[in-house]
Every structure is written in structure tokens, then in C-alpha cells.
Structure 1
Amino acid sequence: MAAPAPAPAAAPVNGARWLVQALAAEGVDTLFGYPGGAIMPFYDALHGAALRHVLVRHEQGAAFAANGYARASGRVGVCVATSGPGASNLVTGIADAMLDSVPMVVITGQVATPLMGTDAFQELDVFGMTMPIVKHSFLPRSVDALPAMLAEAFRIARSGRPGPVLIDLPKDVQIGDASHLPAHVPLAATPVETAAEASLHAAAALIAQAQRPVLYGGGGIALAGAVEAFREFVDRTRIPAVLTLKALGALPAAHPCNLGMLGMHGGRAANHAVQESDLLIVVGARFDDRATGKLAEFAPEARVLHLDADGCEIGKLRAVDVAVHGDVAAALERLTAPCAAQAREGRHADARRAWGDLCERRSRRFAARYDAPGEGVYAPKLLRRLSELAPEAIVSCDVGQHQMWVAQHCRFAHPRRHLTSGALGAMGFGLPAAIGAQLQDPAAQVVCVSGDGSFLMNVQELATVARYRLPVKIVVLDNQALGMVRQWQELFFERRYSEIDLSDNPDFAVVARAFGIEAISLSRGDGIDAALQRLLAVPGPALLHVAIDPTANVWPLVPPNHNNAQMLDADEVSSLPTGATAPARTAPEDPTHALPA
């Protein structure tokens, strides 16, 4: 009998193979990337490894997919690209993660260390280029630097205020002998400090003095794992709450204290409440200009209590009366009982109840209507119906008018179910972010809402959706224009429409079918329910191409250099002559002077 053939020798452990094993030890199960010359040893090490690599069709897609994975899961997203153009194509996705505090580890290939600085093929100083948009960067010069570097990269990405970390990996480090390196041991995230006891006492005292308090919740609520603590605080204190774009879902949409989104496209009830408040309780928000409007006139009568894990945000744009720096969830838990007692029995309890009733009445009065005339598709109605038919969906959207309509009309069960490029406002985010969200939980229902302009920026990722048969549902609202730019040109640039015409768009349903994805077209309002039900019933990926009115605008709107009480609405601009600017309304119904003293 012939002797059995010897087993193939195990591949030597080089830097790349050690890194792949270390990523698995960090709990990474999925990474998104695109191979090339300088990162090829890493891809060789991936061959046969347990890690799932998702091949996107553009490196920006890899960064946004890792971004969406991290936003939806709360875990660190990982993306990989080669040197030069591969690395530079990641930059927009890295910047988005930095500005929206998304934990990511970005691995780029680099030319071998002897070639660095020689203008070698595809050499690019990605370390220097990304320095302003990462929490930290690493450029190991030998395999011996890998263990400490990788552990630190993941610790930094997930600690404190999360964000992206870059590892620029020279090719000779990838192929260097790593057989002597120890097995990787992850480092725990640095714990968030507990807020000082004195600051909590001062916060409770400040809340006790308020007659018209408003909670102003931001994206830091979800980052701090404070959603349940925030909801409990609102339930027991009954303080009216407004939310930023990234905080939507921190309160159930139907909660009587939830006044909705504030800011440029926020609701009237939310904006008026903030402008008339005497105390802003700021929880994980950063006074972004899209939320505050004209900052000098934002909440002019309000004192400010600011709770945040990032001390750099406290007092950055608005002076505070009391700062609570530390664990936001723990701080809210400590404040809930005393503040609930104040709401029931404090000396301003009657005024607080009247204030809450006023805010709730306004919320009902200014609620959105969905009875738009005409036979066409009214985008807010379609999105509200989508939200009703898929109440637990993760919705990933792009940037533009549809982004604001999603924020205004969809209802989210948790902030991690609303994925949107907030601070950077990056078009092309929606589809790859939806891919990442689907892969972090294959059982989740994921919907991408995009506009015709944004969709074409990363349309190639339809190939990724099709290859992996991801059951992502895509809704493309097609107004054949760059809608938000067109709206601003209409209102503030005397209707000089410059380079916003997209009337030569392809038929997006045909495009989807070319990738093997089922597609539906919709152009009439009476077909909304049937189209959405059909879309959601498809077992695999599907696209709904929706033709909407090219002249439709997002309302209300706070004009630039105005305060948030000065909102424009459709009825205020419809009769204006060309070039005129509407006067902004300031006086709400039910003035606050009707409140008890």
C-alpha cells in the first residue's frame, strides 16, 4: 500500500497572516475592501481564513460599508484598500466616520519601507493626508510593532468618543517573519469617567428652577448607550424633548413628550419650544449649525445644562451654566429620581405641566399632513407609509431632500436604525452603508432611501448587493434634479438654476435589472401601498424607482442667518414674485405669556 501523501506544509506566519489572526481575535467577522499591489500579502493571508471579506466595487464603497456596519451594530467596522488611489478613495468615508463619531479601523497598503519617500509606484502619504480626520494613525516599520499597534488601534477606535483609526501597512512589514509574535490579546476600551457628584447636584438644582425646560438630545445618546436612560428620564420627568438628526429614535415617535427634530428642517413645535425655553438640558449634542440656526439667537432666554462624555464639546459654541462631564447614561440615571419628584411636587410643577401641555398641543397642531393634491407621488406620504409597513427596519439614506423627508416622516425604534451622513453630508453614503448594515445582521430588514443624484455616486455597489444576494430594499426618489441645491437656488438665488438638471437620468429600474436585481417603477400616488408591499415582499434585493415632482421642496425651512423661530413654509413663498424673499414668521400660536406665573 502506498504511503499517504504528506500534508501540505503550513504557510509561514508572516506579518499579514499574524494580522488576519489578530483581527479575528479582536472579534472582527466582516471586512470590506478592494485589493491591489501594496496590500496583496494581506489578501493572500485572507485566502482560506475564517474572516468574511466583502469585495466592494469602489474603495469609497468599502469605507461607507464599514461605516454602516459600525453605525448599525455599535461594533468597530473594518475596511481595507491598497496604497495610492486605493487609500485616497477611502478618505471621504473616513472623514464621515470622524465627524459622526463612528468606530472604524482602516487598513491601507503602503510601499515597502525602503521605497517610502522615493515617489514609488502608487506611493501616497496617506498617514499625513488623513491626519485631520482620524483619532490616531499608525505606520509600523517592522513586524515587532504589530501587536501593540493593533491592540491600541481597536482600543482607541471604540473608547470615549468613537472614531476612525488608520493603519498604514508597508509591504515589507506584511511579508516579514512574524512567527515569534505572541497571539493577539485585545485591550478593553477605556472606561468613561463618572460625572462629578457636585455637577449632578448643580444640574438637579438648575432643573428645579426651570418653568419651561426642554431636553435637546443628540447623537451622543446612542454612542453612550444611554437610550434607555434617556427614555426613562423623559417618562418620569415629562420634560418636552427635541432631537437632532442623529438622535432620531432616542424616543419613540409617538411619545407625547417627543416634539421631533429641531433645526433647519425641524418641526414648528420643536423649534418654537427651544426658542421659548428657559432651560436647555443638552444631552450628547454639539450645537451644530444645522440644529441651532443663527447661534446668537438660539434659545435666547435659556440657561444651559450640558451632559456629554466629550468635555471638548461642553462650552465650545454656547456657554453653559452647569456642565456634567462623564458617563451620560449614569448621569441621567442619577438625575431621574430627583427631577421626577420636582416635576410632581416642585414649586414650578404647575407651570411645568402647563408648558408640557402647550408643547404637546403644538405638536398635534403642527403635525405633518399627507393629503397633498394631485395624482403624483407625494414623497413624505410614501416615506411615512414605508415606515408604517416596515416599523423595525434599518433605514440608510443618502443626502439631499430625501434625507430630510426621511428624518421628518419616518419613525425609528432606535437611533441605530437611522443611518445618515450627518455632519459631513456625503452623497453616495446610502447604498454602501446599507450593505454594511445588512451584513452586521443578515436577519435585519434594511432599506436604502436615495435620491437620483446621490444614487449615481455609488451605483456600482449594486454589483456588491447582487453578488452576495443581500436582501437590501432600495427606494430611489427621482426628481430629475439635485433637489436640495435647486430648492436653495429657487429661494435664495433668484431662481437662477445652475447645473442641477438631471433630466437625462437613466431608467433606474432598468439599471437594477441589469445587475440581476428585481425592480419596480412607481409614478402615481394611488399605487404607493401596492408598490411598497411588493418591494418589501421580495425575498432578495429589490429596487423601487419613484418618479416625484421636480419642483417639490422640503418644508419647513429656516433660512440662513435666521433663528429657528423664523421658519418658511410653502404657503409663504408660493405667491412671491421671482427674486423675492419671504418674510419669516416668528410668532407661534398659543404664546407663552398664557402660561401661569
Structure 2
Amino acid sequence: MSNLIKVSDLIADFLAEKEIKHVFGIIGAGNAHIFDSIHKKGYTEIICVHHEQAACMAMQTYYRTSGKVTAALLTTGAGSTNGVTGVVSAWADSIPGIIISGNEHSKYVDIHKNLRMWGVQGYDSPAMVEKVTKYSKQVLETENVKYELDKAYSIATHGRPGPCWIDVPMNIQSANIELSEINDFKQSELAELHLDTPEQLEASVEKLTSALKNAKRPVFWLGHGIKLAGADHLIQRLIEKYQVPSLVTWAGIDMIDSYHPLVYGRAGTYGQRCGNFVVQNCDLLICIGTRMAISQIGYEINELAREADIAVVDIDKYELEKYTDRYKYSINADAKDFITELLAQPLEGESKNVEWVAQCDAYRVNYPWVNENDHPDQDGFINSYPFMEKLNKHFKPDQHVTTDMGTALLSGHQVLKFTKGQRLMTSTGLGEMGYGLPAAIGVSIARNKGEVICLNCDGGMMMNLQELQTMVHYKLPIKLFIFNNDGYLMIKHTQNALFNGRRAGVDSKSGVTCPDFSALANAFGIPAFQIKTWEDFDRVIPQVQELEGPVICEVFMHPNQLFVPKLSLSIQKDGTLISPPLEDLSPLLSRAELKANMVAGLHAKSAMMDN
């Protein structure tokens, strides 16, 4: 009996050993042996997409849906460069995954090492992605392939998660190796995480517990790091124990029921007025598992929650160092460990937050997420914000939603609400157009070809249009909504603000056109619907939700619809520009109304602004 094994078979066995049932990729000369071995072994199914970035995007949402790390298979040359956008996206959003790339024969790695290109299409792909992966390695010894795959798999979820890249030249893939020569990776080799010690964590939590008892207006700000730590099931217990008004980040929207009475929405530069008033009026802000991105906190950290002591809990010490002067408490800990410790603290007496909760309730009543003044229909076009509000009522109990950028991202994340069992996924770190459809494919495959709503836009669709065929080929029940606003709506508004309305490369008049998506649907054999009026909505949405296979539904909206409320520069009568604090969203409220909603009164910038 032979003790030899082909290395590509070893890679296929690695996937089976890790119980990875699906991977995403495109075949080429550089990874043909890997494809053949996976197909021959039969345990793992390769989902063949039509662009490598789509493979790396689908890999992300597969993990976010199933909790299972999976892989993207890339070939050499352009096959691996195409995947980089998806890899950076995973890096930005802390999503683990294994990218297995092929490369030229390893002899060219040596003899061409000082040349720009190796062999025919080869280049140093691990070096290229070194700064946007947790680990990248080219394997030049057959005995180390399994070792490096196991190492990458472990590193991907160790500490702050992220993607890892393993490059295997084609001759290494095709080589045979004695089983006895295979090197094994041991978990003990993982680098030690430099977190606060249990004693330091306990001391920090005790201080925060005391601060919570003394605070009059505390707020929890809950980020996606809680879900990555496997602690989202603890959130409801946490906020109910301490009776603290809470906000969620965009990446963490689906961690807790949006209708929970202590959840007041999502603050930020495109936040809801209610959520922004809550965070800006608090006197203790505890942020857990969020990297405090500019889109969340605004442009000036010292204008965030100005009356508050700020505590930030993050597993990444470098995130804590961004605003070290503003944070009173910086806790370098896993979100689950922190929440568990906080839940273990004794709590005496009744909640002191009754008046504060009542004030937050008033914000919610007075400033609904959608209102007629901010979100009117225009020139016969329906507005995307009330569209999303009405769509909430048609969600199924296990509804899963992915979004692209632009309209889908902004109005979706400001308005959509989710209950237990429902999910929302998008790219919030890199924010790349073209994410929505590959993301929906990853979700559907992870759900055993289950149903997904994908909210997309005409511009974003064109970035990964080819994946319509992936959706069709695998008969994935993706309900693809395409918001048609004649191009790149967000950039139109940017050009309006910066260039007095001069436009270049954003719409049909300035160089960008999109196809007739209903006609395109017919070419792909996909049922198509159009929504232009509210009567269309009431008629079409139930039909779309009842269909079992792929479907496209175009939603026509005003080509210049505003995305509001939002934080924006204010141009004064004398021509000066003011960047207001987070509570002062456009369209601007009267100065009297804004002042009445702020415990500490108007910020100096707001007092200077015309409205």
C-alpha cells in the first residue's frame, strides 16, 4: 500500500478535515490540480463564480451566515490580482477566510525572483497582500503545505479575525509526498494575544460598573465585534440588566431586535436624528466591539458625546490608540469576555435611568426614521426611504438581506429593521460597489441555497453584473432589487456640493449609462418586475416574495433624490464653511428646536450656523 499522496489531494483533504463543504473560485492553469482533487474527493463543492473578487466577497458572507470559515480558490496572475478587492474588504470588516492561490512553477520563483514577472503570469502575490491579510505565505516545500494551511486557518480566527493567503505553485500542487514527511502545525505555535489580563479586565469592569451606577445618561454602543466574538446572544441580557439605552453600529444592526424598547437605532454621519441625539446627550458612553469609524462618530472626536466619559472595548490595541486622549477607559479585551464580566457584576436597587429612558423615548417619537418632510416623493418618483419602511412589513421570519453601496446602503441601513432570526450584511469597511450580489450568493450557499433579498443599485450592479449567471446556474433564490437612479447618486450630490452642480462620469448626460435591467433579466432567463408607484409596490412585492427562484425587481427613483438626514458642511451667508457636530444633521432643525433637544445647549458651531 502506497504511502504517497498528491499535494492537491492533501489540500482537498484539508478542506474536508475542516468540514468546509463549499468554497468559491475560478479555475485556471495555476490551480487546476486543486480543482481536480476537490472534485475527485467529492466532499467539498466548488461554487464557480465569474470574477475572483466575487469569490472573496461570497467567502465573507458565507462565514457571516454560517459561522464557518471557508476558502476562495484563485489561479495565478490576474486570477489572484482580481481577488484583492474582496480580500481587502474582508480585512477591513474583520472577516476570516482562506485564500488559496496558484502560481507558476516554483523554479521561476527562484530564477526570476529579481524580475517583475515569474514564468508566464507569475508574481509575488503573498508580498502584494501582506499588509491586508493576517498571514500570507508562499509554500515552496511539499512537506509544509498542510502545515501552512492549518496555520492560516487557525490565525484567521485568532484574536481579531481576518483573511489569510496561502500561495502554492502549480508544481508543488502536482507533486507527491510521503505521508510521514508531512509537517503538522500545533495550536501552541499561535502568537500570544496581548490583551488585558483577567485581573486588569476585572478591575476595569468594576470601575465601569461604578460609573454606570453614578451616570445619569449612560449609553451602550454595540459593534459587530460582539458578533465576531460569539457574544451577540448576551446583548439583550446586558442592556436589560442595566436598563441602558443602546445603539448599534451599521455592521451590527442584526445583533439584537430593532424593535427592542431599549434600542434607539444607529447614530452616525448618516444616522437617525433619534440615535444622534441619544449619543450626543449621554454622560457615559460604553462602546463595545466597534472600531469607532469616522462614518460612525463624525469628523471630530472631541465633538462626540461632549458631556460624556467614553469607554471603548476592543480586541485590537491599535484601535484603542486612535483616540487615546479622548477615552477615559480603554479596555483591550475580547467583547465576550468583557460582557460576561459585566453581567457577573452585582447590581443593587432599581434602575436610575428612568428619566433618561423616557427622554430617549421622546427622541424616538419626535424624530421617526422616515418622515414626509425629509423623504417626499418627487416628480412622480417614489422615495427609497419610505420604500424601505414599507419593505420591513414584508420580511419573512428568517429574512436575510445583503446590500450594495449608495441608495441600498444608506436608506437601507437607516430604515430597515430586523428581529431575531433575520440578518443584514454589507461591506462597511471598504464600502466597495459590486459587493451586494456576490454577498447574496455567499449567504444563499451558506443557507443550503436559501432565500436572500439583495438590495442593489444600477451603478453597483455593473461592477459584478457577471454574477447574475452564477445566480442562475445554481438556481439561487435571490430576490434582486435594483434601485434605478441613472448612475452614481451619491457622487452627484458630492459634485453638487463641490462643483456647483457640474457633473462628470455620474449619469447618462455625463458619460455613464446602465442597461435596461428588465431586458437583461430576460436574457438571463430571470423573471423581472418594475416598481414605479406605490400601487406597483403593493402589487409587486407580494409576488416577488412568493417566487421561489431568482428574480429581478427594478425600483425607479428620482435621479437626484437626497440622502437625509446626514451630517454635511454648512455654507454660511458670508461664504464660510462650518462642519457641525453629530447632532446637527441636515436638513437643519431650527436653532431653537436643536437647543431644546440638547442637555448642554447648542454647540458653538451650531449657534453660528444659518438655518
Normalised by the size of structure 1, how large is the TM-score? 0.90
The alignment status of 1:42 with 2:34, answered yes or no, reads yes
Distance 1:541 1:13, change over 3 A: same
Task: For 1:59, give the aligned amino acid.
Answer: E
Q: Once structures 1 and 2 are overlaid, which stretch shifts more, 21-30 or 501-510? A: 501-510
Deviations 1:71-120 (A, max 9, x none): 22222131011111000000000000001000110011011111112531
- Which residue matches 1:367? 368
Deviations 1:138-193 (A, max 9, x none): 21111100122111110011221110000011112101112425899887697987
CA contact under 8 A between 1:22 and 1:184: conserved in structure 2?
A: no
CA contact under 8 A between 1:84 and 1:123: conserved in structure 2?
A: yes
The alignment status of 1:328 with 2:329, answered yes or no, reads no
Q: Once structures 1 and 2 are overlaid, which stretch shifts more, 358-367 or 292-301? A: 292-301
Give matches, 1:66-85, under 5 Å.
66-85=59-78
Task: For 1:126, give the aligned amino acid.
Answer: S
Deviations 1:334-378 (A, max 9, x none): 323647536x26xxx2xx221111011101211133654464322
Distance 2:85 2:440 in 1: 17
The alignment status of 1:384 with 2:376, answered yes or no, reads no
Q: 2:582 aligns with which of 539, 564, 574?
A: 564
Task: For 2:580, give the aligned amino acid.
Answer: H
Normalised by the size of structure 2, how large is the TM-score? 0.88
3-state SS in 1 of match to 2:506: coil
Distance 1:457 1:187, change over 3 A: farther
CA contact under 8 A between 1:376 and 1:525: conserved in structure 2?
A: no
- Which residue matches 2:209? 204
Deviations 1:216-263 (A, max 9, x none): 111111111111212211122221112211111223111122111111
Give matches, 1:540-559, under 5 Å.
540-559=549-568
Sequence identity (%): 26
- Which residue matches 1:400? 406
Q: What is the CA distance between 1:382 and its match in structure 2?
A: 2.1
The alignment status of 1:587 with 2:594, answered yes or no, reads yes
Q: What is the CA distance between 1:441 and its match in structure 2?
A: 0.8
The alignment status of 1:105 with 2:88, answered yes or no, reads no
Q: Once structures 1 and 2 are overlaid, which stretch shifts more, 82-91 or 36-45? A: 36-45
Deviations 1:495-541 (A, max 9, x none): 22222104732111111221111111121122112211111111111
Distance 1:250 1:592 in 2: 30
Give matches, 1:170-249, under 5 Å.
170-181=169-180, 195=198, 196-249=201-254
Distance 1:402 1:40, change over 3 A: same
3-state SS in 1 of match to 2:370: coil
- Which residue matches 2:519? 510
Q: What is the CA distance between 1:299 and its match in structure 2?
A: 1.5
- Which residue matches 2:490? 484
Distance 2:424 2:346 in 1: 30
Q: What is the CA distance between 1:584 and its match in structure 2?
A: 8.9
Gaps of 5+ in 2: 570-578, 602-611
Distance 1:298 1:244 in 2: 15
CA contact under 8 A between 2:370 and 2:415: conserved in structure 1?
A: no
Q: 1:440 aligns with which of 413, 432, 446?
A: 446
CA contact under 8 A between 1:142 and 1:173: conserved in structure 2?
A: yes
CA contact under 8 A between 1:308 and 1:328: conserved in structure 2?
A: yes
3-state SS in 1 of match to 2:494: helix
Q: What is the CA distance between 1:472 and its match in structure 2?
A: 0.9
The alignment status of 1:28 with 2:20, answered yes or no, reads yes
CA contact under 8 A between 1:22 and 1:183: conserved in structure 2?
A: no
Task: For 1:151, give the aligned amino acid.
Answer: D
Q: Once structures 1 and 2 are overlaid, which stretch shifts more, 135-144 or 382-391? A: 382-391
Distance 1:305 1:46 in 2: 48
Distance 1:403 1:341 in 2: 42
Distance 1:321 1:586 in 2: 31
CA contact under 8 A between 2:277 and 2:363: conserved in structure 1?
A: no
Gaps of 5+ in 1: 1-8, 573-582
Distance 1:340 1:502 in 2: 61
3-state SS in 2 of match to 1:566: coil
- Which residue matches 2:49? 56
Distance 2:421 2:335 in 1: 16
CA contact under 8 A between 2:147 and 2:185: conserved in structure 1?
A: no
Q: What is the CA distance between 1:277 and its match in structure 2?
A: 1.5
- Which residue matches 2:320? 314
The alignment status of 1:355 with 2:356, answered yes or no, reads yes
Q: Once structures 1 and 2 are overlaid, which stretch shifts more, 215-224 or 115-124? A: 115-124
Distance 1:209 1:258, change over 3 A: same
CA contact under 8 A between 2:221 and 2:248: conserved in structure 1?
A: yes
The alignment status of 1:256 with 2:261, answered yes or no, reads yes
CA contact under 8 A between 1:72 and 1:416: conserved in structure 2?
A: no
Distance 1:221 1:406 in 2: 22
CA contact under 8 A between 1:397 and 1:448: conserved in structure 2?
A: yes
Distance 1:135 1:302 in 2: 35
Task: For 2:177, give the aligned amino acid.
Answer: A
Distance 1:470 1:264 in 2: 35
Distance 1:518 1:179 in 2: 53
CA contact under 8 A between 1:26 and 1:186: conserved in structure 2?
A: no
Q: Once structures 1 and 2 are overlaid, which stretch shifts more, 236-245 or 304-313? A: 304-313
Distance 1:502 1:219, change over 3 A: farther
Q: What is the CA distance between 1:437 and its match in structure 2?
A: 0.5
Deviations 1:435-460 (A, max 9, x none): 01100112643111001100110010
Q: What is the CA distance between 1:45 and its match in structure 2?
A: 1.3
Give matches, 1:409-488, under 5 Å.
409-413=415-419, 417-442=423-448, 444-488=450-494
Distance 1:205 1:94 in 2: 42
Task: For 2:354, give the aligned amino acid.
Answer: R
Q: Once structures 1 and 2 are overlaid, which stretch shifts more, 101-110 or 239-248? A: 239-248
Distance 1:181 1:24 in 2: 20
3-state SS in 2 of match to 1:424: coil
3-state SS in 2 of match to 1:236: helix
Q: Once structures 1 and 2 are overlaid, which stretch shifts more, 44-53 or 257-266? A: 44-53
- Which residue matches 1:123? 122
Q: Once structures 1 and 2 are overlaid, which stretch shifts more, 310-319 or 227-236? A: 310-319
Distance 1:480 1:300 in 2: 41
Aligned length, in residue pairs: 569
Q: Once structures 1 and 2 are overlaid, which stretch shifts more, 328-337 or 183-192? A: 183-192
Q: 1:65 aligns with which of 37, 58, 65?
A: 58
Distance 2:593 2:405 in 1: 28
The alignment status of 1:136 with 2:142, answered yes or no, reads no
Distance 1:493 1:302, change over 3 A: farther
Distance 1:56 1:181 in 2: 36
- Which residue matches 1:537? 546
CA contact under 8 A between 1:140 and 1:146: conserved in structure 2?
A: yes
Distance 1:307 1:33 in 2: 36
Name segments (4+ residues, structure 1) moved above 6 Å: 9-12, 182-194, 583-586
3-state SS in 2 of match to 1:396: strand
Q: What is the CA distance between 1:416 and its match in structure 2?
A: 8.0
Distance 1:341 1:407 in 2: 37
3-state SS in 2 of match to 1:48: helix
Task: For 1:543, give the aligned amino acid.
Answer: I
Distance 1:318 1:388 in 2: 43
Distance 1:179 1:536, change over 3 A: farther
3-state SS in 2 of match to 1:168: strand
Distance 1:333 1:522, change over 3 A: same
CA contact under 8 A between 2:80 and 2:101: conserved in structure 1?
A: yes
3-state SS in 1 of match to 2:269: coil
